[in-house]
Amino acid sequence: MRTPISMLSRFLILTVAGCLANVAHADEPSAAARQLAQERFTIVAPFPPGGPVDVLSRLLAESLQKRYGQAAVVENVPGGAGNPGMDRVRRARPSGHTLLVIPAGNLTINPTLMANFPFRIERDFAAVTMLAKAPNVLVAHPSADTTTLAALVAAVRADPKRFSYASPGIGSGLHLAGELFRQQLGLDLQHVPYKGTGPAINDVIAGVVPLMFSNLPAALPQVRAGRLVALAITDSTRSPVAPDIPTLAELGVDGVVVSSWYGLMAPAGTSPDVVVQLARDAAAALATEAVTRQLSAQAMTASPMTPAAFAAHIRAETATWEKVITARGIRAD
């Protein structure tokens, strides 16, 4: 039996898909759909196989292949912090047949974080839709000071030298989530960067560092095993994957809404009608039971948007991170 939360999520996805639908009759493909059916698709995943970007790329490729009867291949272009893969799409013909699946940080953090970032997102790419997101979660080593968020904040204010927070690396989204949290509450928290989420979580479990912001898929198994305490979700709503964890806003901390999300982009110059059609196709794929199950297995939820809403989301989040990065003088390693 589906929970009320999952039924609501599915309803919202279907609603977005409906909003993106053309007014044309279902058996009369739009001009954009006819154009997309003319040749094969390449989905560029600018990271190695196996991660969320690769998974989403393959789900999308499979759906496009079924929808249009054309081959759809995933091209992994790892390295260079994702920039080579982004450049591959930027230079592609803007027909809608070469697409980019990309994490939030490449679109909203790196433009400020990297001194010589080679792209201007709005100039070089067309925003299609958000595909999915996984909320981040504030986790802590189990101790008397970290049973609740209120206890943690009180302990940090009483003795800030005892507390620091780990992250997967300088400038990562999880590092910046910690900085935003620290700023909003006026806490004196020191940042301890690691080379990856795994080493950071391991040291929080061991008590070397007392807390960190982690993506939910990486932290949830450790929380369920009792090795970490989950204090709050950093999203606007609770996660259907872990509905027992409250949001920061529920606990009185506003302005810290940070999720690990993944978007779909096309080359700049792609026809707006084609962009809308691609967004519609992605929303329809995300609404299927099979895709919902696969996303849920990775603690992700489908989060489609219209192209206009997605472009506005990118702009707003970029502005948020620009303020945080500039205020703290953060630069990429």
Q: How confident is the model at residue 6 (pLDDT cuts 50, 70, 90)?
A: low
CB atoms within 10 A of CB 72: 21
Q: What angle do CA 220, 225, 228 make, to 5 degrees?
A: 65
- CA-CA distance, 220 to 204, in Å (whole number)? 14
78 and 187 in a single domain? The answer is no
144 and 71 in a single domain? The answer is no
- pLDDT above 60: residue 1: no
| Residue 312 counted as domain residue | yes
| Residue 243 counted as domain residue | no
The residue to which tokens 């489609």 are assigned: 304
What are the pLDDT digits (tens) for 31-88? Answer: 999 999 999 999 999 998 988 899 999 999 999 999 999 999 999 999 998 999 999 9
Helix 307-328 with 173-185: angle, nearest 10 deg: 70
31 and 125 in a single domain? The answer is yes
What are the pLDDT digits (tens) for 112-145? Answer: 999 899 999 999 999 999 999 988 999 999 986 7
Specify which of 90-104, 248-262, 292-306 reaches the highest per-range mean pLDDT. 90-104
173 and 264 in a single domain? The answer is no
- pLDDT above 60: residue 274: yes
- CA-CA distance, 122 to 127, in Å (whole number)? 8
- pLDDT above 50: residue 5: no
Domains held by the chain: number: 2
Higher pLDDT, residue 23 or 275: 275
- Per DSSP, the residues of 255-269 read S---EEEEEEEEETT
- CA-CA distance, 194 to 212, in Å (whole number)? 11
If you average pLDDT over residues 159-167, what whole number do you get?
Answer: 92
21 and 109 in a single domain? The answer is yes
- pLDDT above 60: residue 305: yes
Rounded percentage of the chain residues whose pLDDT exceeds 90: 71
- pLDDT above 70: residue 8: no
Tell me the chain's radius of gyration from C-alpha atoms: 20
102 and 28 in a single domain? The answer is yes
In contact, 50 and 298? CB cutoff 8 Å: no
Which residue range(s) make up the domain with 22? 4-133+260-328
What are the pLDDT digits (tens) for 233-270? Answer: 998 899 888 899 999 999 999 888 888 899 999 999 99
In contact, 171 and 331? CB cutoff 8 Å: yes
Q: What is the CATH number of the domain that holds 26?
A: 3.40.190.150
| Residue 313 counted as domain residue | yes
Q: How confident is the model at residue 22 (pLDDT cuts 50, 70, 90)?
A: very low
Containing 101, the helix (H) or strand (E) segment is strand 98-103
Q: How confident is the model at residue 320 (pLDDT cuts 50, 70, 90)?
A: very high
Of the three residues 185, 218, 233, the one that is the final residue of a domain is: 233
- CA-CA distance, 232 to 181, in Å (whole number)? 11
- pLDDT above 60: residue 12: no
If you average pLDDT over residues 276-299, what whole number do you get?
Answer: 92
Q: How confident is the model at residue 28 (pLDDT cuts 50, 70, 90)?
A: confident
Enter the tokens of residue 97. Answer: 């047949």
54 and 199 in a single domain? The answer is no
What are the pLDDT digits (tens) for 176-217? Answer: 999 999 999 999 999 999 988 899 999 999 999 999 999 888
| Residue 62 counted as domain residue | yes
If you average pLDDT over residues 105-111, what whole number do you get?
Answer: 95
User: Phi, psi (5° rounding) for residue 320?
Assistant: -60, -50
If you average pLDDT over residues 284-288, what whole number do you get?
Answer: 94
- CA-CA distance, 268 to 216, in Å (whole number)? 33
- pLDDT above 60: residue 301: yes
The residue type at 163: F
Decide: helix, strand or coil at residue 303: coil
Q: How confident is the model at residue 18 (pLDDT cuts 50, 70, 90)?
A: low
* pLDDT for the residue numbered 2: 42
Q: How confident is the model at residue 298 (pLDDT cuts 50, 70, 90)?
A: confident
